[in-house]
Amino acid sequence: MLDQRLVRDNPEIIASQLGRRGKAVDLTKLQLIAQQQRNLEEQRSGLQAEGNRIGKEVGLQIKSGTDPKSEDIANLRKQGNAIKQKVSVLEDEEKLLSSQLKDQLLTFPNLPADDCPDGTSENDNVEVRRWGTPREEEGLEEHWLIAERLKLIDTERSVRIAQSRFVTLMGQGARLERGLINFMLDLHTKKGYREVLPPVLVNTASLTGSGQLPKFAEESFRCAEDDLWLTPTAEVPVTSLHRDEIIPSDQLPLRYAAYSPCFRREAGSYGRDTRGLIRLHQFNKVELYWFAHPDHSEEAHQQITADAEAVLQALELPYRVLDLCTADLGFSARRTYDLEVWLPGAGAYREISSCSVCGDFQARRSAIRTKEGKSTKLVHTLNGSGLAVGRTMAALLETGQQPDGRVRLPSALVPYVGCELLQPE
C-alpha cells in the first residue's frame, strides 16, 4: 500500500510514477480526504491533550485539599466530559475518512523503482543475460506429447475428477514432481533458507496484506462458507507469518523457502496454453521469500534472483533473465527480474520465475516493521519462485528428450527420482 503522506503532501509523485505504469490517476479527491483526515487527527490530539491537562488539574486540586464536590471541580469535570464527547465525534469522523482513504489506496499498485525500465508492453522488457546453450533441432516434441506418450499425466481422467486445466500425475510423473520439490527445497535450505510448509487456505487479511486483494479477487478460488481462500502462491501465507509484528533489526534478513500447492482461476487467459503443464488451475511451487532491512533490499533482490537461477543451472536448463519494464510489473512489485526457461519443443523461452522486490508496499499493508534503538520502520519484502514445479518438469521433458523416445534427467536430479531415464512403463 502506498504511504498516505504522499497522497496528502506529494500527490504529483504518485501520479507521475503510476503514469510510468500506464495508469492515469486524478488524486484531487483523495488528497482532500487525506488532508481532512489529518486535520481531524490534529484536532483530536489537541483536545485529548487538553482533556488530560484538565484531568491532572482535577487530581492536583483534590490532592491539595479542594472539596471534590466543589463548584470548581464540577466545572472542570464538565469541561472534561464535553471534550470527551467532542473527541468521540472526531474519532468517528476520522475513522470514516481513514477507511475511505485506505479502501482507495488498496487499489493502487506499487510505484516502480527509479531504475526500472520504462515501457508500454512486455515487448519493452530488457534482456539482462543468458545462461546455457538452447537446444534447437527439428522434430522435437512439446512436453505434453512426451508426458502423454510416457503416461506421466492423465488429462482425460482429471477432467472427469475436476474440470479442464487440471492434471493427474501418474507413476514416473508423480515421482518426478515429488523429486523436484525435494530437490528445490534441499538446494535452498543448504543456502540458509528456513523451510516452511504453510496452510493452503488463507484468510482475507492475508490476501490483502500481500496485495492479492482486492485486485485479483476474480482470479482466486474462495470457500463460500468461510473467510478462507485457496492460496494462489506461498507468498501470501509467508507474508502473513509476521503480520502485525516488529522484527528486531539484528534478525534481518529472514529468508524462507516454502512449498505449496497453488490455485488460480487464470481469468482472462483462456485460449492460451490449454494443453500441458504451463497454465493450470492447480500447480505446485517452491517460493523464496525475504524480509529484509530497507537499506539492503536492492542487494537482496540480486541474491534472491541468483538463488532462483541456481535451480535452473543445477538442472542444466538454459534460460534468460529479463528486467521487466514498468508496464509489465506485477501489482506489488517495484522491480522484477523474470527468469524464462528455454523449451526446445516449443522453440521459445517461457517464464518460470518472477523475482520481485516490493519495498515497503506489502509491509505497510501487513504492518510488518523492524526496530533499531527506539525507532521503528517498515521492512522490505522480496519474493521469487524457486521454482514453479510443473513448468520445470515441462522444460526437463523437452530438454532431455532422446531419439528413442525416452527422457534423460540431469545428474543432480537422479538421486531424487531414482533413475537416469524416463521411459514407457
- Do residues 159 and 300 share a domain? yes
Say how far apart CA 24 and CA 33 lie, in whole Å: 19
Predicted model pTM: 0.91
User: Could you tell me if 177 and 289 lie in one domain?
Assistant: yes
Share of the chain above pLDDT 70, in %: 98
CATH number of the domain enclosing 266: 3.30.930.10
Q: CATH number, domain at 8?
A: 1.10.287.40
pLDDT for res 70: 86
Q: Of residues 79 and 399, which shows the higher confidence score? A: 399
Residue 48 lies in a domain: yes
* Whole-number pLDDT of residue 125: 98
- Return d(Cα 6, Cα 74) in angstroms, integer: 45
The total of structural domains in the chain comes to: 2
My answer on whether 41 and 87 are in the same domain is: yes
Q: What is the mean pLDDT of residues 240-259?
A: 97
- Given 76, 105, 134, which residue is the final one in a domain? 105
The verdict on residue 116 lying in a domain is: no
* Structural domain harbouring 166: 122-422
Cα–Cα distance, 354 to 386 (Å, whole number): 9
Asked if the model's pLDDT at residue 182 lies above 90, the reply is yes
How large is the average pLDDT for residues 65-83? 86
Report DSSP letters for 390-423, one per residue. HHHHHHHHHHHB-TTS-EEPPGGGHHHHS-SEE-
- pLDDT 10s digits, 114-157: 999 999 999 999 999 999 999 999 999 999 999 999 999 998 99
Residues 99 and 134 in one domain: no
Encoded amino acid at 397, one letter: L
Helix H or strand E segment including 177 = helix 172-190
Tell me: do 19 and 97 sit in the same domain.
yes
pLDDT digits (tens, 9 = 90+) for 380-425: 999 999 999 999 999 999 999 999 999 999 999 999 999 999 998 7
> Which pLDDT belongs to residue 96?
93
How does pLDDT run across 353-372, given as a tens digit for each residue? Answer: 999 999 999 999 999 999 98
Residue 271 pLDDT more than 80?
Answer: no
114 in a structural domain: no
- Give the model's confidence band at 270: pLDDT under 50 very low, under 70 low, under 90 confident, else very high: low
In a domain, 117, yes or no: no
| Beta partners for residue 408, in sequence order | 421
Pair (142, 47) in one structural domain: no
Query: Does the pLDDT of residue 282 top 70, yes or no?
Result: yes
Q: Pick from 79, 105, 131: which residue ends a domain?
A: 105
Q: Are residues 309 and 222 in the same domain?
A: yes
The rounded Cα 411 to chain-centroid distance in angstroms is 33
pLDDT value for 267: 54
Strand segments, DSSP code E, in 44-119 are none
pLDDT of residue 71: 84
Q: Does 278 share its domain with 136?
A: yes
Q: Rounded to the nearest 5°, which phi and psi values hold at 253?
A: -80, 150
pLDDT value at position 273? Answer: 64
Quick check: is 224 in a domain?
yes
| 113 in a structural domain | no
Q: Same structural domain for residues 100 and 134? A: no
- Residues 24 and 110: their CA atoms lie apart, in Å, by 14
Q: Which residues are catalytic?
A: 264, 279, 351, 354, 391
Residue 373: which pLDDT band, with cuts at 50, 70 and 90? confident
* Average pLDDT in the chain: 94
Q: How confident is the model at residue 65 (pLDDT cuts 50, 70, 90)?
A: confident
Residues 168, 95 within the same domain:
no
Q: Is the pLDDT of residue 376 over 80?
A: yes
- Given a cut of 80, is residue 247 above it in pLDDT? yes
Summarised one tens digit per residue, pLDDT across range 83-109 is 999 999 999 999 999 999 999 999 999
Same domain (yes/no): 99, 126: no
**112 domain residue, yes or no:** no
Same domain, 141 and 226: yes
Segment among 55-69, 262-276, 395-409, 411-425 with least mean pLDDT: 262-276
Burial letters for 152-186: b for 16+ Cβ neighbours within 10 Å, e otherwise? bbbbeebeeeeeebebbbbebbebbbebbbbbbbe
Q: What is the pLDDT of residue 221?
A: 94
